[in-house]
Amino acid sequence: MPERRTVALVTLGCARNEVDSEELAGRLEADGWELVEDASDADVAVVNTCGFVDAAKKDSVDALLEANDLKDHGKTQAVVAVGCMAERYGKELAEALPEADGVLGFDDYADISNRLNVILSGGSVEAHTPRDRRKLLPITPAERQAAAEGTALPGHDQAPEDLPDGLAPASGPRAPLRRRMGTSPVASVKLASGCDRRCSFCAIPSFRGSFISRRPSDVLNETRWLAEQGVKEIMLVSENNTSYGKDLGDIRLLESLLPELAGVDGIERVRVSYLQPAEMRPGLIDVLTSTEKVAPYFDLSFQHSAPNVLRAMRRFGDTDRFLELLDQIRSKAPTAGVRSNFIVGFPGETEADVDELERFLTGARLDAIGVFGYSDEEGTEAATYENKLDEDVVAQRLARISQLAEELTHQRADERMGETLRVLVESVDDEDGATGRGAHQAPETDGQVVFTSNQGLTVGRMVEAKVVGTEGVDLVVESLEEAGR
């Protein structure tokens, strides 16, 4: 019997890419591939790339080159690029990076096993020609579900009836196809794909396509399966969760889905990410702040607060409206977690605009703040704008706002002294101690909780703990169970 071919998946970028990698892992294992963690132990290394901004694209290229080096002194025979950068650039990436033995787009995912077999056998798979994926589905959201058949939507595909153990369940309607990579008690669940917004700085809709929701039954089935795998917290991800359900005939579908997800046996916390301020509604705020096991957590994409800059970005709002939204949230959940990202140095941004952003940040009391300096993204409207700022001006403003953000988030952490948190324990180590996250902290982005003692802690437990100190944005806590002893 021939030896099973081995594959390693290297994932870069956001949580949505992590879900896509687990779909690819499910497809490959179902077709007989052996999954390995280390690319040096694999016949083929599949790099799931990010194509969002220049820094992410550079990281993706570096990962591909690093995997290619393994071909000289390891088991690795081929390196294949998938993901957003591969989808966005296709043949252009293949020509610029001959070290990649294959550049596969989203349309190749359904037949990923055959594609890799061809490449490993010395054949070639033609890199796809990029296209505007917004044009693959109807403009009218209500018509998209019926038209989506045959359109590649990573994270939406369903499993065949017979699957090996460890894959998503074959029973039940429209069971998801997914293979967990790792044993973390936290997992992301894709709520939708694509985006209908037309922010002038963002290229994502062009290669991720128009917004289309997954059906609630699919999301629930996947969550139940994840709970059976030991997952305690799920994080709902998409390009814009506030639009969920609009193509299913109910823009308030998220409000009814969240309590159902929170009621899944074994799930201790449900977190919603990627919320658009302009689309927030009172009913959604109510559900996010009052539903047991749903984290009062608001990942709000503000991007700026000066009206002139926001309009140039093709976005809505201003400082006072945003502060009012935060007041509405905190009137219902005073300790709610709030994070956001901001772009400084946008074309036409003035010193007065930066002052206005500082006014907002100072009043917003955000738990986590990401700050990015503007740079042109090809294919975006903003790349064609005049009145671009000099690079040194952008760098100076980036440093200024970043320093303020660091000071403000440290202050916000200090405000949490004495609070009682429900902390999900994520690591326990004799040398490094135990760490976890409270409801106001999302994975990877928002800091963590550090326990004063490991006593009685195990990974996956939800523990009541009191904040007794801070380390920057991180919180130091004492388990109330341990304190009781």
User: What is the per-residue pLDDT across 426-438, written as a single tens digit (0 to 9) for each?
Assistant: 999 988 899 999 9
| CB neighbour burial string for 73-87, b if at least 16 within 10 angstroms, e if fewer | eebbbbbbbbbbbbb
463 has a pLDDT exceeding 70: yes
pTM of the model: 0.91
Three-state DSSP at 58 gives helix
Q: How far apart are CA 190 and CA 213, in angstroms?
A: 9
User: What is the per-residue pLDDT across 372-404, written as a single tens digit (0 to 9) for each?
Assistant: 999 999 889 999 999 999 999 999 999 999 999
**Which of 52-66, 297-311, 355-369 has the lowest average pLDDT?**
52-66
Mean pLDDT, rounded, for 208-215? 92
Which pLDDT score, from 0 to 100, does residue 176 have? 59
Annotated binding site: 14, 50, 84, 195, 199, 202
What dihedral do alpha carbons 377, 381, 383, 386 form, nearest 10°? -160
Which pLDDT score, from 0 to 100, does residue 75 have? 87
Which contiguous run of DSSP H or E holds residue 20? helix 15-30
Annotated binding site for [4Fe-4S] cluster: 14, 50, 84, 195, 199, 202
Residue with tokens 């001959």: 98
**Which of 36-50, 245-259, 266-280, 414-428 has the lowest average pLDDT?**
36-50
Mean pLDDT, rounded, for 215-237? 95
135 has a pLDDT exceeding 80: yes
Alpha-helical segments (H) within 54-192:
54-73, 83-89, 91-96, 112-120, 144-147
Which pLDDT score, from 0 to 100, does residue 221 have? 92
Cβ–Cβ under 8 Å, residues 92 and 99:
no
Cβ–Cβ under 8 Å, residues 434 and 478:
no
2 has a pLDDT exceeding 90: no
| Domains of the chain with CATH codes | 6-121 (3.40.50.12160), 141-154+173-415 (3.80.30.20), 419-479 (2.40.50.140)
Cβ–Cβ under 8 Å, residues 100 and 81:
yes
**Which of 15-19, 350-354, 366-370 has the lowest average pLDDT?**
15-19
